[in-house]
Structure 1
């Protein structure tokens, strides 16, 4: 059976750092509740953790770090909390843009982020554009992202190509489908980490995680630091990745 075009090869876990790490950043609210603080205080600490871990990832040689910042389901949260989260995103873009440029980091955003407010979309587009000449590691932020919606959109694009006569159904294989995803030009996902002890993927990178190593850690996201990331990488290095083989 032919291997997917960008599929990793068996054994790449042993002793080697992952190229692409994704993190479900969970636990901000519980961090705040344990300290009798409002939820926004947990989210502020969570932004500090984003800065800390994005730098740690670069120091540890990770090529791509993908962070689940705001899911398509997060709109169900109270309006005040959503407004606070958008404010923190604005502040992050304002304060981090120059550091990303200086540290040669490329910023990417995946998800339906254009549904956000016009001023925020403009800030995102400007920051992404300013970092595109960089050649270093990549920071990918998933905003208003849902994996089922991403997969559905990819299927719709391929169906449109078939309907227009530009594609025949037999030409649709795994590699062709992957090229229709938002992550088509990224390395395969090697490691998925979720903080706070919850053990589910929450509609994040479902296709991409097919053969990723999964780690669920009890640490709440605001407390996740370089040592915790190093421990996850050590655990990854100890695993033997077979991808269905022996």
Structure 2
């Protein structure tokens, strides 16, 4: 943990006690499906892009709280492969928002020793957006703090297909060289995924009350604990993150063993 609990959660609601957090049981990897920006905007008679812009503050809060309390990996689901089906104006606005936000935040993230990386088919992103994330990676890749994983143009099924293709290329190259392909197991296959060298999520948070995984980290969440909240993403803050942590710590993770 990088800061005292009272400093991370300085003004908790009456029903929350930050001291109840067991700092020895902080999840190593937290993944977040940030849902509800559009509904938040609709409730306020705003266009959807206003909702996405409002969600940026929730992203900031979650990154800072996770980093301060000692989470090692935070993966945020920013844009799925299915999101290209949204209206063009919204997609273009989102891509610009991603680029602007990354460029505006990277210096502070770097100061806090956060490493920023992306997963997904990033080659299909607009150049401006791709360049912003590339710049963030180059600036922060040697940092030793929390790793912020931005899933952008990401789809879990695509990741598995890409992993299979990568394995097949390796096998073909090994055979062509007169060798033997690497034997495939769960462990070895994991090295061909976008998340190679990243542990599977311990906790998956989904906002806005939806109860589905939306093609997110399908391979990696086999034994992940789920926390779903009715809170819309722009209203998510460090105290909602605290609720998720406390709920997670109240569970007995058996990984298929007898309880």
TM-score, scaled relative to structure 1:
0.91
Q: Which has the higher contact order (CA 8 A, sep 6+)?
A: 1
TM superposition shift of 1:160: 2.1
Residue 162 (1) aligns with residue 177 (2):
no
- Residue 221 of structure 2: aligned partner: 209
- Is 1:15–1:238's contact at 8 Å kept on the other side of the alignment? no
- Is 2:96–2:129's contact at 8 Å kept on the other side of the alignment? no
Residues 87-126 of structure 1 aligned to structure 2 (within 5 Å): 87-126=96-135
SS at match of 2:208: coil
- Residue 8 of structure 1: aligned partner: none
- Residue 30 of structure 2: aligned partner: 21
- Is 1:190–1:212's contact at 8 Å kept on the other side of the alignment? yes
Residue 56 (1) aligns with residue 68 (2):
no
Residues 31-46 of structure 1 aligned to structure 2 (within 5 Å): 31-46=40-55
Unaligned segments of structure 2, at least 5 residues: 1-21
Q: Determine the C-alpha separation between the residues in 1 that align with 2:47 and 2:170.
A: 49
- Residue 140 of structure 1: aligned partner: 149
Q: Determine the C-alpha separation between the residues in 1 that align with 2:166 and 2:26.
A: 34
Q: Determine the C-alpha separation between the residues in 1 that align with 2:80 and 2:209.
A: 19
- Residue 9 of structure 1: aligned partner: none
SS at match of 2:252: coil
Q: Determine the C-alpha separation between the residues in 1 that align with 2:253 and 2:203.
A: 11
- Residue 198 of structure 2: aligned partner: 186
CA gap 1:22/1:167 in 2 versus in 1, 3 angstroms? farther
- Is 1:21–1:192's contact at 8 Å kept on the other side of the alignment? yes
TM superposition shift of 1:168: 3.6
TM superposition shift of 1:141: 0.3
> Which 4+ residue blocks in structure 1 deviate beyond 4 angstroms?
none
Count of equivalent residues: 233
CA gap 1:167/1:197 in 2 versus in 1, 3 angstroms? farther
TM superposition shift of 1:220: 0.3
- Is 2:223–2:255's contact at 8 Å kept on the other side of the alignment? yes
SS at match of 2:104: helix
TM-score, scaled relative to structure 2:
0.87
TM superposition shift of 1:233: 0.5
